[in-house]
């Protein structure tokens, strides 16, 4: 049977689905505007004040959120280390640094815990392009891990992990995108 040139590969279909989910989540959830009032996912109290959701007491939820927070903290350290080693990449990596900080804060709020300190980082690649590829690969792996964890949960924890997975998928795509010629 001849190969049809118009047929999508499985990898292309999965990447496209992840990017669409990431774009939808980014358009609806993640926001870099610090001047906006309110906390997404929080409820309004009787006096109009914003109240954060109650931390989860479910051990399965807390374990999933703690694992995610630890993984994201380790990735955030990787971003910092890459930025220090390759200063020319700081601007390109800044959105990932901000996203990861916001995600860890939201995970801690929803889980009601302090995640353990991440372990020692593996050495960075020697070239900046290889370091970007390494970060993109790590983002994509965490995206899959967090989407899988989200599928096992319900409610706000599942939504948060799914949003984080979409964000990580988007960051992986941005890190691997070729820069346009100036």
| pLDDT tens for each residue of 33-56 | 555 454 555 555 566 665 556 766
Span 72-94, average pLDDT: 94
* CATH value at residue 106: 1.20.1260.10
Domains identified in the chain, total number: 1
Distances in Å between the Cα of 85 and the Cα atoms of 73, 75, 88, 97, 161 are: 18, 15, 9, 15, 30
Q: What percent of the chain has pLDDT over 70?
A: 68
The answer to whether residue 9 sits within a structural domain is no
Task: Give the CA angle between residues 81, 84, 89 to the nearest 5°.
Answer: 100
**Is position 51 within any domain?**
no
Q: Find the helix or strand (DSSP H, E) in which 44 lies.
A: strand 43-44
pLDDT band (50, 70, 90) for residue 58: confident
Domain range enclosing 82: 59-176
Any domain includes 42: no
Partnered with residue 43 across adjacent β-strands are 51
Residue 106: phi, psi to the nearest 5? -70, -40
The three-class DSSP label of residue 118 is: coil
User: Would you say residue 6 lies in a domain?
Assistant: no
Rounded-to-integer distance, Cα 164 and Cα 146, Å: 7
Whether residue 121 lies inside any domain: the answer is: yes
**Does residue 181 carry a pLDDT above 50?**
no
Q: Does a structural domain hold residue 12?
A: no
pLDDT class of 115 with cuts at 50, 70, 90: confident
- Asked, for residue 40, whether it belongs to a domain, the answer is no
Instruction: Determine, yes or no, domain membership for 157.
Output: yes
């Amino acid at each position: 049977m001849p190969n049809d040139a118009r047929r999508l590969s499985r990898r292309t279909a999965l990447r496209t689905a992840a990017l669409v989910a990431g774009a939808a989540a980014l358009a609806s959830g993640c926001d870099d505007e610090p001047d906006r009032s309110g906390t997404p996912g929080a409820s309004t109290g009787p006096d109009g004040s914003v109240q954060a959701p109650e931390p989860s007491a479910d051990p399965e939820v807390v374990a999933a959120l703690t694992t995610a927070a630890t993984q994201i903290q380790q990735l955030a350290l990787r971003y910092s280390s890459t930025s220090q080693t390759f200063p020319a990449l700081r601007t390109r990596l800044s959105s990932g640094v901000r996203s990861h900080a916001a995600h860890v804060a939201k995970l801690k709020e929803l889980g009601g815990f302090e995640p353990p300190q991440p372990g020692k980082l593996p050495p960075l690649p020697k070239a900046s392009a290889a370091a970007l590829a390494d970060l993109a690969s790590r983002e994509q792996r965490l995206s899959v891990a967090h989407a899988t964890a989200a599928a096992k949960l319900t409610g706000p924890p599942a939504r948060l992990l799914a949003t984080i997975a979409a964000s990580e998928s988007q960051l992986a795509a941005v890190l691997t995108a070729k820069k346009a010629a100036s």
